[in-house]
Structure 1
Amino acid sequence: MNEGAAWDGTEWKTQLVAKRAEAEGYHVSPFDPKAVGKGNKIHLLLEKRRVTTQSSLQSDPGWGSALVVGEVQGSGGERGGQRVLWGAPRPLDSVLAGQMQQQSLEDLQPARMSRGVAVGAATIVFPLAGFITDETDTLACTVMYSEDNGENWKLPAAAVVPEDCDAATLVEWEGKLFMATSGSSQWRRRVFESDDGGKTWNEAAGPFARLLGDAYALPLLDSPDAL
């Protein structure tokens, strides 16, 4: 991601979104960002890796996520008038630290094959995957959601899929959120639904859920391309 992304109607320009921030102890990866546009803001969810010059800590990179928000400014009617101003990355392990600790979650990252969605007037939801640090150290899938256009973020009271899940994608359909998930077996997906913007989830039933659960209905979740 380079200097300057603005659209003047005839060509694309580039813009710096996030610099390498080793001086602050972490590196934000520019690969496979998850983007949601809401109003005049663009929310990018990126992978984050903790870095350090201390040899005693280099074996523990500390994977996680960071959120970068860009705000579109200027008039679209003027040639080259619109420009996106990008804020500094916000590491999620600081934004969600208390909630992660309550649920014994660590290393939350964008789930493989994930996509976020904007719902209604002010809700934004991203799927995440991480470890539940109990006796099993199992991979789990959950979401983070905002009800105020990205100002504050929360986790559901419990992980959506508490075990054997590392890939998920979100779809909105007829007022509900659906999350198709995959774990060690990519050929059978579990599908969950939420009718309150991501706060609570239940395993879904019905024809639409069966469609999402069909391994051929969506690209395989080990694909490098997000939906």
Structure 2
Amino acid sequence: MCSSCEAETPPKEVELLKAGEAPALTPQEEGGSYPIVPNELAFYGHSLADVNGVLVALAVGVYGKVLGTAVDADIWAMCRPYGEDGALGQDAAWEKRGWTPQVVAKQLGKKIYGGPLSGPKAVVRGKQLFLLVSNFTLRDPPSPGVFGWEAADWDLALFVGGVEEPTAVGGGKQVSWATPVSLKTKLATEMQRHSWKELYAFGGARGVAVGEKKILFPLMGTSVGAEERRFACTVMYSEDNGGQLEASCGACGC
């Protein structure tokens, strides 16, 4: 019988992060800003990336209260190194015991509670993984004279993960995350020039890598007036793999 006539292999799936179940973290990952209560824990998707021989599944973990009060959110990673020869084995992704959990991003500021923690899908370049994260909380009610919703506080940060060869005999590849870089002050001049009050990186969009060193992420800038709230689509970009960051002038009305 020819191979083309054989029955197709049915699709497989593995549930890496499950609502109501908190993955077992390493001692370095424990002791977050708030306790993890399993029955208040839920996840929604973010990114799936292949970084120098490690599969990285990113998800947003949401911690809610029973009566619907404010929620907190982290970004989690499930990491799965594969073969030393750089080839992804046929069943590598389906062995759940081989995945290691990490908490990548916690709330970005002490004053930011109850706001979403999200951003564009991660960008991979070589041995590095770039993750742009936005966090804000709403002011309720808005300030006098402000039309529509208003952020009480916000922040924007760039997380960079790296995958290097194992240093210990028998050790496996792991993703290590550098200290996140807050962009709120770095982009302050650009924001003032364009009269933006906040910059947000909403989930669902996708960043891109261009050439050898350039990375780009989509952003939304906002300005608040007495009669309307204006939005502008813009791009944050770096030409040296995240070292220096700039924002384009943007297009209003999106």
Whether the 8 Å CA contact 1:28–1:46 is kept in 2: the answer is no
Are 2:126 and 1:127 equivalent residues in the alignment? no
Matches of 2:162 and 2:135 in 1, distance apart? 22
Q: Secondary structure at the match of 2:200?
A: coil
Q: 1:12 to 1:187 in 2, by over 3 A?
A: same
Aligned to 2:14: 15
Q: 1:108 to 1:200 in 2, by over 3 A?
A: farther
Whether the 8 Å CA contact 1:46–1:110 is kept in 2: the answer is no
Aligned to 2:242: 198
- 1:196-220 CA deviation, whole Å, 9 max, x = no partner? 3224311247xxxxxxx569xxxx8
Matches of 2:21 and 2:51 in 1, distance apart? 30
- 1:59-90 CA deviation, whole Å, 9 max, x = no partner? 23212322222233599698x55445453533
Q: 1:83 to 1:132 in 2, by over 3 A?
A: closer
Are 2:71 and 1:39 equivalent residues in the alignment? no
Whether the 8 Å CA contact 1:140–1:166 is kept in 2: the answer is no
Are 2:108 and 1:89 equivalent residues in the alignment? no
Aligned to 1:141: 156
Aligned to 2:78: 68
Q: Secondary structure at the match of 2:82?
A: strand
Q: Structure 2: which 5+ residue stretches go unaligned? A: 1-7, 23-35, 144-150, 165-174, 189-197, 223-228
The match for 2:176 among 151, 158, 162 is: 151
Count how many residue pairs are aligned between Structure 1 and Structure 2: 189
Q: Which has the larger radius of gyration?
A: 2
What is the CA distance between 1:125 and its match in structure 2?
Answer: 0.5
Give the root-mean-square deviation of aligned CA atoms: 4.0
Matches of 1:132 and 1:200 in 2, distance apart? 27
Stretch moving more, 181-190 or 166-175? 181-190
What is the CA distance between 1:190 and its match in structure 2?
Answer: 1.5
What is the CA distance between 1:105 and its match in structure 2?
Answer: 5.9
What is the CA distance between 1:191 and its match in structure 2?
Answer: 1.5
Q: Structure 1: which 5+ residue stretches go unaligned? A: 1-8, 206-212, 221-227
Matches of 2:217 and 2:81 in 1, distance apart? 28
- One-letter amino acid matched to 1:198: G
